[in-house]
């Protein structure tokens, strides 16, 4: 394996990342400072959140406005379900993006990009490519922020108990 090839992340990290993102936006606000490369973005969990059972095939999908704030969403967590995919939105500058983070690989699907206003096919294509890359840039920066917390001592001592208390709230 070359130095540029990355090992895949363990599958449970995707659901932990989505849960961390949901918990963080719900308890600490939607504004994230993602450093010089990205800047400040507003992030939220949007209108779809899907869970799966840890040991069984049972799943739950919640859709609709503010699906993540419903009592059913927290009940799924309390029942031992883990996040399978989540619809995320973010606003950077004057651009708003919506997309779904799916499964154990955090595949970006169902992206709704801001309106492309360029004239011509080539310009429009380049603009759409830039906007999709912007999603990747923001997700990468959010994941980096999560990873820093995940490997710290605070994860087990502070974050997990806080997430459990939050999930227990109805």
| Model pLDDT for residues 62-116, shown as the tens digit of each residue | 999 989 999 999 999 998 899 999 999 999 999 999 999 998 889 999 999 888 6
Q: How sure is the predictor about 141, in pLDDT bands with cuts at 50, 70 and 90?
A: very high
Q: How sure is the predictor about 1, in pLDDT bands with cuts at 50, 70 and 90?
A: very low
Whether residue 22 is predicted with pLDDT greater than 70 in this model: the reply is yes
Whether residue 37 is predicted with pLDDT greater than 80 in this model: the reply is yes
Whether residue 2 is predicted with pLDDT greater than 60 in this model: the reply is no
- Among the listed residues 127, 133, 39, the one whose alpha carbon sits nearest the alpha carbon of residue 91: 39
What residues does each domain of the chain span? 12-158
CA atoms within 13 A on the CB side of 13: 13
Mean pLDDT across 16-32 = 95
Q: How far apart are CA 129 and CA 166, in angstroms?
A: 38
Please count the other Cβ atoms lying within 10 Å of the Cβ belonging to residue 60. 16
Mean pLDDT across 110-126 = 80
């Amino acid at each position: 394996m070359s130095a540029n090839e990355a090992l895949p992340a363990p599958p449970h990290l995707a659901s932990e990342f989505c849960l961390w993102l949901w918990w963080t936006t719900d308890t600490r606000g939607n504004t994230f400072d993602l450093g010089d490369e990205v800047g400040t973005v507003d992030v939220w969990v949007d209108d779809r959140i899907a869970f799966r059972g840890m040991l069984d095939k049972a799943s739950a999908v919640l859709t609709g406005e503010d699906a993540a704030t419903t009592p059913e969403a927290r009940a799924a967590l309390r029942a031992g379900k883990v996040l399978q995919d989540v619809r995320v939105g973010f606003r950077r500058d004057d651009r708003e993006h919506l997309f779904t983070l799916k499964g154990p690989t955090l595949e970006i699907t169902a992206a709704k990009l801001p309106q492309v206003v360029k004239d011509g096919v080539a310009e429009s294509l380049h603009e759409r490519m830039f906007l999709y890359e912007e999603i990747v840039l923001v997700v990468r920066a959010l994941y980096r922020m999560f990873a820093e917390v995940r490997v710290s001592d605070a994860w087990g001592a502070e974050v997990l108990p806080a997430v459990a208390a939050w999930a227990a709230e109805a």
